[in-house]
């Protein structure tokens, strides 16, 4: 398979939107990884309603969001040449971030404010329509509580910035684990429901040869014979309180 085809297959994710007060329509989204070797100009943006530019950095010293390269600044104008209506979101974090970075930022109001204010400033300065949190993953009860505080304060800051500037509010989304619980810790579902426009559920890594006796390669969208399918995991998220909206 050609590298570009592999790239697009890797990036395509199922985006799950739930009913919020923010009135979003259907979402057909994908992530573009800056270090994957495919330029943003090669993306057929006519296929998408939303594109995620991944990943912005979180400076552990200042708790501010920074862009790793000039390609991030050019992402929005580049993908809008083929589709002027596509919305772009700056995704912050990812799997390469040190596990202590997000918890250290989210633990105090002052550091959360640095993160929030800088994220809004960077998004506006570079033409993004929204922001995407990719914290992998809160691992303690306190971290889940800090995530809840972060989402509430982020939504309030986004609303205040929009009101003062006269612009449409930035979209707020987040990547979450494919279960509502991680190691018996529950996501703050109500805060997610209230303060995010939608969540991007990690719909991969269900199968690995090291635990092939648990899942089958590769786990199905829906598997009536087992629990490790994406359909089953979405059902568990719905039971946990995320209100789904058909796309």
- Residue that has been written with the tokens 């939107």 in this structure: 17
Q: Which of 136, 148, 153, 184 is catalytic?
A: 136
Dihedral in degrees, nearest 10, Cα atoms 187, 193, 195, 200: 70
Structure tokens at 162: 């929009």
**Burial category of 207 from C-beta neighbours within 10 Å (exposed 0-12, middle 13-18, buried 19 and up):** middle
Does 136 qualify as catalytic in the annotation? yes
Taking CA atoms, 212 is separated from 177, 205, 218, 228, 234, in Å, by 20, 12, 10, 11, 22
- Residue that has been written with the tokens 């501010």 in this structure: 64
Q: CB of 29 within 8 A of CB of 53?
A: no
**Burial category of 188 from C-beta neighbours within 10 Å (exposed 0-12, middle 13-18, buried 19 and up):** buried
- Residues constituting the chain: 247
Residues with a catalytic annotation lie at 136
């Amino acid at each position: 398979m050609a590298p570009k085809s592999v790239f697009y297959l890797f990036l395509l994710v199922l985006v799950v939107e739930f009913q919020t007060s923010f009135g979003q329509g259907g979402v057909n989204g994908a992530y573009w990884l800056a270090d994957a070797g495919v330029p943003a100009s090669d993306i057929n943006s006519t296929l998408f309603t939303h594109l995620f530019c991944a990943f912005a950095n979180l400076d552990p010293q200042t708790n501010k969001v920074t862009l790793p390269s000039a390609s991030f600044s050019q992402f929005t104008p580049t993908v809008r040449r083929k589709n002027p209506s596509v919305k772009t979101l700056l995704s912050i974090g990812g799997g390469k971030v040190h596990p202590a970075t997000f918890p250290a930022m989210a633990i105090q109001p002052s550091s959360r404010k640095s993160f929030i204010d800088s994220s809004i400033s960077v998004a506006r300065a570079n033409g993004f329509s929204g922001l995407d949190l990719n914290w992998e993953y809160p691992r303690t009860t306190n971290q889940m509580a800090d995530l809840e505080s972060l989402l509430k304060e982020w939504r309030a800051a986004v609303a205040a910035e929009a009101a003062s500037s006269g612009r449409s509010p930035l979209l707020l989304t987040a990547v979450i684990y494919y279960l509502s619980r991680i190691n018996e810790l529950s996501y703050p579902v109500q805060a997610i429901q209230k303060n995010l426009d939608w969540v991007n559920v990690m719909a991969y890594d269900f199968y690995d040869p090291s635990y092939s006796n648990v899942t089958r390669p590769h786990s199905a969208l829906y598997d009536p014979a087992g629990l490790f399918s994406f359909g089953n995991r979405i059902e568990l998220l719905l039971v946990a309180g995320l209100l789904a909206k058909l796309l």
